[in-house]
Amino acid sequence: MSLRERLVEYIRENGPMTVADYMAACLYDPQDGYYATRPAIGGADADFITAPEASQMFGELIGLWCAHEWDQLGKPAFSLIELGPGRGVLMQDVLRATRRIEGFHDSSSVVFIEMSAPLREEQGQRVPDAEWALRLEDAPPGPSLIVGNEFLDCLPIRQFVRGEDGWHEKLVGVAEDGRLTFGLSAALPAPDSDDEPGAVREIATGLESLIYEIERRLHDAPGRVLLIDYGYVEPEGADTLQALKSHAKVDPIETPGEADLTAHVDFARVARLAAQAGLDVHGPATQGQFLRALGVDLRCEALSRANPTHAERLARELHRLTSPDQMGALFKVICLSSPNLPPPAGF
């Protein structure tokens, strides 16, 4: 039975499901989920492209950031952890950029947090010495630097829609003709708000437990987490659930398991939960600000001087990473740290 057929059967038996449960099934179903079976990142025949796939400069600067923060931690032996490493390109660039930093490679062990078997395979080809874990809490204890690019946007979200008579939860049900369809719950006993009818509020259900895992780790031993993703600080009341297939937006309800399904990240909530957990929070900064503060312009100049034939391509990549009309403003960067460390670079 296809994922769609199984979802229809499940809903007929149990009633409509939350958008979060639908998203989790589409992404992680072991048999047909997108990440479990057919993730396609980067390149012409991919479904979507990410910053490390767009330019080597992205991972190189994150590598230099890691070297700086390792120095600030006092150069301990540490786990270099990546959440959702995709094809392993970011870590490959991080390791290349830190090759000449004395002691960095000898002190670090790379740990990938990844649930997708096909992606683990690709990561192993690019970073053969890596270890894998399914969750952050399964990574070896001790000091750590943790990075995650486009990881938070995979966390399933619940969606709430403001009606004339209050808030309703958006649900996935089955229409009379047997197709999956979005619908609304009855009005919920939620507090009143100023939102206009039609406004949508979204809550990533797994965020609390992820912050809790980070908090435990960073209280047990010093470390930092750098999270980069598309998202907002002030919610706009918009529906940000998005399905991408072959670089095009498709209807999230039409393609269960066949498309990448994501939502914008609520960075204000990430910051609030982390601060409540006693972590130090820096940012969110925009990706453009962060990369500029780390010296992306100089990096681009140096690479162009060394390789004049690549100068034009590098300039295009720089524009793509930093310009507000490309990835520079929509993408945000936030750093969560163990208490009592000096401020991290880039903010």
Residues that bind ligand SAH (CB under 6 A): 35, 39, 41, 50, 52-53, 84-86, 90, 113-116, 119, 149-151, 154
> Minimal distance in Å, beta carbon 158 to ligand SAH?
16
Burial 70-80 (b: 16+ CB within 10 A, else e): bebbeeeebbb
> Minimal distance in Å, beta carbon 167 to ligand SAH?
27
CA-based nearest residue to 154, from 24, 257, 327, 301: 24
Pick between residue 210 and residue 314 the one whose CB is nearest to ligand SAH: 210
> Minimal distance in Å, beta carbon 74 to ligand SAH?
28
| Number of residues in the chain | 347
Helix (H, G, I), strand (E, B) or coil at 128: coil
> Minimal distance in Å, beta carbon 147 to ligand SAH?
9
CA-based nearest residue to 159, from 28, 21, 288, 257: 21
> Minimal distance in Å, beta carbon 130 to ligand SAH?
13
Instruction: Give residues with Cβ within 8 angstroms of 243, minimum separation 6.
Output: 249, 250, 251, 252, 255, 259, 260, 261
Pick between residue 34 and residue 167 the one whose CB is nearest to ligand SAH: 34
Pick between residue 47 and residue 215 the one whose CB is nearest to ligand SAH: 47
Closest CB to ligand SAH: residue number? 84
Pick between residue 115 and residue 171 the one whose CB is nearest to ligand SAH: 115
Looking from the CA of 347 toward its CB, the CA atoms found within 13 Å total: 18
Cβ contact 300:346 at 8 Å: no
Burial class (CB in 10 A: 0-12, 13-18, 19+), 144: buried
Pick between residue 82 and residue 239 the one whose CB is nearest to ligand SAH: 82
Pick between residue 90 and residue 279 the one whose CB is nearest to ligand SAH: 90
> Minimal distance in Å, beta carbon 112 to ligand SAH?
9
Pick between residue 42 and residue 76 the one whose CB is nearest to ligand SAH: 42
How remote is the C-alpha of 5 from its chain's centroid? Answer: 29
> Minimal distance in Å, beta carbon 256 to ligand SAH?
16
Q: How crowded is residue 180: how many other Cβ atoms within 10 Å of its Cβ? A: 19
∠213-216-222 over CA atoms, to 5°?
Answer: 120
